Structure 1
């Protein structure tokens, strides 16, 4: 039987010269360095005193934001482990629109702590197993300390305020929170609501302070012709996912026109068919028609003459929302529509805001109208509003915990006590997990201008004396998070722990990095 090479040098001998191999120690160093680079990119954005990042895109567009998911999405990375860390932020951010920075920092802290244990002789698989047991212990502690959910307007407003404080865009977190909860109240069912039932519309050229909540669906569109009505009361509305023109006009076909008369006949026949389509809208009894695509000129003429309001280029999300609000059905073309597909309700145009306010007897679909001087600012504010909506939805369903880093210190305190009952080297992993959790309050303190070590010592002392919600205040002082209304959803925190632990343990299992030269790969494929 052939001997199997065991040493690193022997294994390297069977790898082609075009393939670079790092080995276990180098692999850990490379991976840890990649993760820490991602962490340092977003660390300073954490908390109410977090800083913004200015991102200059290849096309020259400039983006200013403190949203870590956006920052990392716009950052080009080539290292696969760095990409894995970014995916952790996205996993949390897509679910809750918040907590992504915390997840990234915790992932980096866990790997940093793991590296220290491995250098002391603890096997990576033992560290990974200990981390998972520690996470499960922390998860059980969440159930013990959480404040049950429910529809408490005051608490939910503070939850949204905690998530959106520090926008630095002309609106305080309390202003954003007020808009969010006001809109949520309009669509809630008992103790929960669906954030997708709330539209967000942005407008530029005004102060953020004029942002408001409309009880109706707001649509920032104009009629296709000025002669059309800008108000329809108790009217019937047709919704078309597509265009009001001949489908053949969008196809690439060749038509041979031999003379002027042939061209005239062809054009007249096409115009007649388009007018027939518009006549179909009128015959259905529609007072208004909304299309997601274009409306041909001939159709516009017929509809305008019949006093039918027509609006084109309505995005599908808005089309579906308005149809639900008016009790209608979106159809693919006018030829397949029936009177049963029509919705009914009111269209009123506000000439000052250049918005249609649309209201019917279907599902309530309010709109949060975000205003600001520039498109970049309203886009950023819109993102904060989305965050507030998701956070409030999660908090009302699952409950809340104290923020300001208080939860992480409390979990760390409980894990250290639990570690005393753990046998073997996994006890070290428990304690390392506790150390990693404390990176969150330390970062909050550092961003608030405190000495992070002094802040952590003060927090440890407070928690050891029974103040489970002691955390870092906005001004850098030690506060009781619950008494000062700093709340975060417990399920978001649970997801942060899970995602960060999974990412860290996955990286720990990597003991080698093989980089295959592109030229070598292409030659082997030939």
Structure 2
């Protein structure tokens, strides 16, 4: 990977943002080729030898090691964006890199870093207004919801797979009213994408929960019709006296007495479950081995170590109330479902709970030929779900770089009405956001200069929905079915500006030590006429040394107050 792993100092003097621009450039360069429908994949190999093949920016950054502090700040911002939006991570990385690169040049020309940051904020406000004007509100049943999901993953697989991803994701969301909490994903190797399916119910992976379901009870059943379900939000084990103490065993008879007592306690616990006619006991933590065996013998299916999201979903879907211990069970706490079935998938066993009376739930059972393919399939569908949900709730804008070109023109026009030096930052912002259509054109094999000029001309003619299509040509993105939720470019710009502003306001990296602090890198310069302190020393003389208040660099963290 071309990502630097030891960037902690300025790579060149005289530039306030150099220490931030270099890691940002490196991250942007590493992800640039992954953008768009023609984006290429990255193969990331960590120190343990694990291989990850993906073109998702957040996944790439999560897999590589970045030692540069500013690089880690940028990575964290991008990953936070990915968790909230699900798409646009590479776009955000490219925007951060371009904004910091442009800021570096402005500061070198004499503009103060805070003026650049303030200009970026003003530009971002105008950009958000432009995106709102460009957006089109749609409903959950609108065909453009599916188009947005398809656009988000175009290029990450073939055309048929892209359509399959969109169908699975949007179909699942529509069946649960676009409530993401009622959709769960499970990926298994050993099959193709065509073998993936929607399960109208809750799927529990018994390999993850370490549940033994061989024989499905003593009668060898593979399904339970209308079972009664109890949920225990804790572990099921023999009670332990909280008081400190010990049991002295003097002879074999005493040991037999202790064992008889434990068996009696265990029988009472099992009876507290069976007397309530429980068919399935779902436990969020572990079940004692002996108790699990006795439960199976008594005809109760034990399900332990259930994933928290699945446990909560079962409680809502079955109309059950979780208790902390089996002794707390009563009829009001129990629930039921239409059926519980056992099936084999990918060499393992799963349980499916269907015909749910409480609330509907969808489980997407995804297949891939290898564990790596299955994992990537799960990441792609997760992105589809997030994008479709945002599109249905917040509206859509044309994709293919059209929003960024519209933003560029709007901010550039706004800069003409600004009569102070921050207008330079607005112009720089307007140029920086065109990195998205430029990169789309380059990755499509087109000349980025010609493509950008043609795109800008179309926008000046009032065609605000024009973008760069998969072939590198300029066309109407809506007509081509290339759409994205307005939340994606809006959040990309917000995250990029916030991150760039944070980096611009950092003038030094400090590495704390046991005895205090030491400078981990040289000072950032470019403050114009300097910064004079009360003792007559001047901070920012350009000689690469740290100055201030007569103190040496031995540990007094004076810079923390500036």
The residue aligned with 1:6 is none
Cα–Cα, structure 1 residues 342 and 471, in superposed 2: closer, same or farther, change >3 Å?
same
Q: Indicate the residue corresponding to 1:288 in structure 2.
A: 280
Among 485, 492, 499, the alignment partner of 1:496 is 492
Partner of residue 278 from structure 1, selected from 270, 275, 279: 270
Q: Within 5 Å, which residues of 2 pair with 1:57-456?
A: 57-168=46-157, 172-188=161-177, 193-221=178-206, 223-226=212-215, 228=217, 229-248=221-240, 256-349=248-341, 351-353=343-345, 354-359=349-354, 360-456=356-452
Cα pair distance change 1:164/1:524, threshold 3 Å: same
Give the length in aligned residue pairs: 503
Deviation string for 1:39-95 (max 9, x for gaps)? 112222111111111122222221111111121122222222111211221221110
Output one character per residue of 1:372-425: Cα deviation in whole Å (capped at 9) or x when no partner: 122222222111111111111111111110111111111112222222222122
The answer to which of 148-157 and 134-143 deviates more is 148-157
Alpha-carbon separation, structure 2, partners of 1:268 and 1:83: 59
Q: Give CA deviations for 1:292-322 in whole Å, capped at 9, x if unaligned.
A: 2333344334333332222223222211111
Q: Residues of 1 paired with 2:296 and 2:111: CA distance?
A: 78
Q: How does 1:1-12 map to 2 (within 5 A)?
A: none
In structure 2, how many angstroms separate the alpha carbons of the residues matched to 1:475 and 1:96? 27
The answer to whether residue 499 in structure 2 is matched with residue 507 in structure 1 is no
Instruction: Check conservation: 2:45, 2:51, Cα contact below 8 A.
Output: yes
Deviation at 1:21, TM superposition (A): 9.6
CA contact (8 A) 2:152 2:383 kept: yes
Tell me the distance in 1 between the aligned counterparts of 2:126 and 2:80: 22
Cα distance in 1, alignment partners of residues 399 and 322 from structure 2: 44
Contact 1:243 1:292 (8 Å CA) reproduced: yes
> How far does the alpha carbon of each residue in 1:316-357 deviate from its partner, in whole angstroms, 9 at most, with x for none?
221111121111112221112221111111234254544332
Q: CA RMSD in A?
A: 2.7
1:516 is displaced (CA, Å) by: 5.9
Distance 1:358 1:150 in 2: 30
TM-score (norm 2): 0.83
Q: Secondary structure at the match of 2:367?
A: strand
Distance 1:253 1:497 in 2: 63
Quote the Cα distance in structure 2 between the aligned partners of 1:252 and 1:215.
50
Between 218-227 and 356-365, the greater mean CA deviation after superposition: 218-227
Q: Corresponding residue for 1:10?
A: none
Cα 1:112–1:22 change in 2 (3 A) is closer
Q: Is the 8 A contact 1:410 1:468 kept in 2?
A: yes
Helix, strand or coil for the counterpart of 2:14? helix
8 Å contact from structure 2 (residues 441, 472) kept in 1: yes
- Give 3-state SS (helix, strand or coil) of 1:117's partner: helix
The structure whose residues are more often helix, as a share, is 1
Q: Which secondary structure state, in structure 1, belongs to the residue aligned with residue 240 of structure 2?
A: helix
Change (3 A) 1:262 1:475: farther
- The aligned runs of 1:455-494 (5 Å cut-off) are 455-494=451-490
Greater Cα shift, 300-309 or 410-419: 300-309
Instruction: Indicate how the Cα distance of structure 1 residues 423 and 487 shifts in structure 2: closer, same or farther if over 3 A, else same.
Output: same
- The CA distance in 2 between the partners of 1:305 and 1:485, in whole Å, is 58
TM-score scaled by structure 1? 0.89
Secondary structure of the corresponding residue to residue 331 of structure 1: coil
Measured after TM superposition, the shift of residue 254 of structure 1 is 6.5
**SS at 2:277 equivalent:** coil
Distance in 1 separating the partners of 2:227 and 2:243: 34
Once residues 489 and 447 of structure 2 are traced to their aligned partners in structure 1, the CA distance between those partners, rounded to angstroms, is: 25
